[in-house]
Each structure stands twice: as C-alpha cells, then as structure tokens.
Amino acid sequence: MLRTISLSKSLTSTLTKMGPRAMSTSTILPQVQDVPSSKLGGRYTVTLIPGDGIGQETASAVKTIFKAANVPVDWEQFDVSGYTSADDKTFKQSVESLRRNKVGLKGILYTPVSSLGHSSFNVTIRKDLDMYASLVLCKNIPGYPTRHEGVDFAIIRENTEGEYSGLEHQSYPGVVESLKVITRTKSERIARFAFDFALRNNRKKVTCIHKANIMKLADGLFLNTCREVSKEYASSGIKFDDMIVDNASMQLVSKPQQFDVMVMPNLYGNIVSNVGAGLVGGPGIVPGCNIGREYAMFEPGCRHVGKDIQGRNTANPSAMILSSVMMLRHLGLDDHANKIANAVSKTILAGAVKTPDMGGSSTTTDFTFAVISNL
C-alpha cells in the first residue's frame, strides 16, 4: 500500500487553473506549500542568482522588463560563480537568502569537471533545500519553426538522488565506485507529482523513462513504484506506459509528438531535457523550475552556461524571461505574468527581432526592448 503524499492547496489551485495545452509561456507553474507573503505595499522579495556565462546578460533582461512592466518584485542579487571555491561566502549567503525568501530566479552555474573541483552548486542548492521536482517544458513556439511540429511535452525529473547522489570513492588505484541511490519514498514522491501534474493540466499520458532491463533493482524500484502510483489515477483516464531510456532517446528525435508527461530519475532527466530543448529550438527558449514543499527556484530548463558567447550581447534571454514568468504565476502575479508572456510571444511571432540562435543577428538588448515595446 502506497503512502499518500498530497499536494499543497496552493499547488492544487494553480495547476487547476492553468488550462489544457496552453503555451509554455503561460502555463504549468506548480507552487510549493508555503507561498511567500508580499511585504508591505504588495511587493515580493526574490533571490536572484544570475549565474555564469550569459547569466548576467539574461538576468539583466529580466530586471529591465520587470521594471518596465512595474512588477512588484525586489531582488536580492548574489553574483555567485561556479568558478569559485566550495567555501565561497557569496554562495552560502545566496542559499540563506533562498531559505528566507523561499523563491529564487537563477541562471546556470559552472560546474568544474576536475576531481579537485567543488561539487556542483546547482545540485547543492536543489538537494539542500529539497527541491525534489524539476519541471522542464518543451513546446513549439509560433514564429520559431523547427524540424518537428506539434511538440508539447513536460519532463519531470527527480532532483535529489540517483546518479547525482555524489557518493564516489576509489576502492583501489584505478578502480572507482560510484553509487546510484534510488529510494521508494522519493520515487513515489516524484511519481505522484507527475500524475497530479498530468491530471490538473489535462494531460493524457505519463511515461516512465528507465533502464530497468539492466539496473533491475534501482531502476526496477523506480519503475514499479510508478506503476503502483499509476493505478490510483486509472479512473481519471490518464494512461501510463514506460520506455527504456535509450529507446526513448531515439523516439524523441524521430517522433516526439508521442510524449506528453515524462517522469524519470535524475541523470536521465538531465539528458532528456537537453534533447527536448534541441527539438524545439535550443536552450535559449526552454523555461523550467525546481520545486519542493517549501522552496521554489526558477531557471532555464536546459542547463547551459553559454561561456562561449559570454559578453557578446547575443544570448537569447527568452528561457530566463519565461522562467521568470513561471515565477510570477507562482507568486500569484498572474496579470504581470500574462503581460510579459504575451509580449515575448508577440516578439517571437513577429520575427523582426531574432538573436543568432533563432537565425537572426539581433542582440540580447534588441530582444529585451522588443519585448518591452510589446507589453
């Protein structure tokens, strides 16, 4: 018998009002249990971590648009960098700010590859604050044609365990053991989140992505837990199926329209999110968020630093802007969210201002002011 893990009232009400198949610019904004109250005067304080690479440029676009739209948000900005040491005071201060404000907007932080480097700050924030669910939206945007049409699926990724548990050791020189941790409790939690999400967004199918044919115990536990949870939703008409991760990768690039809601362990979610972003136009347009029972952090769904174009004023800020729109919905600022989301949609649909990733030559600044002109 599975233990019931209920969603918060605020999450339920937000998911219910989103409506079927709305554009990714204006939908799917889950809320955590405790939505922060506005300060005196109806303003909210939000932690802002611009991130490395293009982070400062895309965060600046968001701040400029918010100011033009008179959004009642005050920023606590921390210029954290993944290039700094693990005991960086700024990083610790940013985490404390998130604990205090409960809501954050974040760019992507660099993670060193060397074994001498610190653990990923991105992962550390999610695990320390138990933001267990990653949500990434992959949907075609009118005005930005891609190879596939009719793509519209959500990727829900377990954020706190799996291969990202960080438990590695060298048992013998030249022999490294890396532990993958899968628990029934956290598998059930993310599975239930996926089905509740599908139910309240008029989604029709949940697909569990796994490798249970090889990792029979770990992925087998994840898959079987999803199967058990699915039975509770059978009467609602939500279908359930599963797919091995390598086959899912092929199916995504050949027929992505077959997917609706996808739920998976940590590493697979990271890979599939990148594939999904590539299907709909790249990392510059895919929004996302990480949520838990107490905290919510909004960030681009495809986690690329963009170091190669840093400082060139050519980055597409859409992913960061649309992630901030999700944040506004979480805060209950729907009018401001709609205003900005519609402005982004109009800008892309018009096609007059395109950053290089969209086939144009416009700058980040050009795109930002085009959005403002469409408010």
Residue-level pLDDT, tens digit, the chain, 375 residues: 444 334 443 343 333 333 334 344 444 444 445 667 666 578 999 999 999 999 999 999 999 999 999 999 999 999 999 887 666 889 899 999 999 999 999 999 987 765 545 567 888 888 889 999 999 999 999 999 999 999 999 999 999 999 877 788 899 999 999 999 999 999 999 999 999 999 989 999 999 999 999 999 999 999 999 999 999 999 999 999 999 999 999 999 999 999 999 999 999 999 999 999 999 999 999 999 999 999 999 999 987 898 999 999 999 999 999 999 999 999 999 999 999 999 999 999 999 999 999 999 999 999 999 999 999
What is the predicted pLDDT for the residue at 150? 96
**Is residue 54 within 8 Å of residue 361, measured between CB atoms?**
no
Euclidean distance between CA atoms 136 and 275, whole angstroms: 11
Strands (E), the chain: 44-49, 73-77, 103-106, 133-139, 152-158, 162-172, 175-181, 205-210, 239-244, 261-264, 287-291, 296-300
Encode pLDDT of 258-289 as tens digits.
Answer: 999 999 999 999 999 999 999 999 999 999 99
Summarised one tens digit per residue, pLDDT across range 329-348 is 999 999 999 999 999 999 99
What pLDDT score does 124 carry?
A: 85
The pLDDT assigned to 121 comes to 81
Strand pairing partners for 205? 239
- Residue 172 burial class via C-beta count within 10 angstroms: exposed 0-12, middle 13-18, buried 19 and up: exposed
Residue 28: how many other CB atoms lie within 10 Å: 24
Structure tokens that stand for 369 in this block: 């002011």
User: By C-alpha distance, which of 318, 311, 266 is closest to 139?
Assistant: 318
Q: Is the pTM of this model over 0.85?
A: yes
Sheet with strand 44-49: strands edge to edge:
73-77, 44-49, 103-106, 296-300, 287-291, 133-139, 152-158, 261-264, 205-210, 239-244
- Nearest alpha-carbon partner for 28 in 117, 156, 172: 156
Element holding 60 (H helix, E strand): helix 55-68
State how far the alpha carbon of 256 is from the alpha carbons of 100, 191, 277, 287, in Å. 40, 21, 12, 18
Give the per-residue pLDDT at 261: 98
Residue pair 153/205 in contact (Cβ under 8 Å)? The answer is no
Hey, what are 203's tokens? 């989604």
Amino acid in the structure at residue 74: D
Q: How many CB atoms lie within 10 A of CB 158?
A: 27
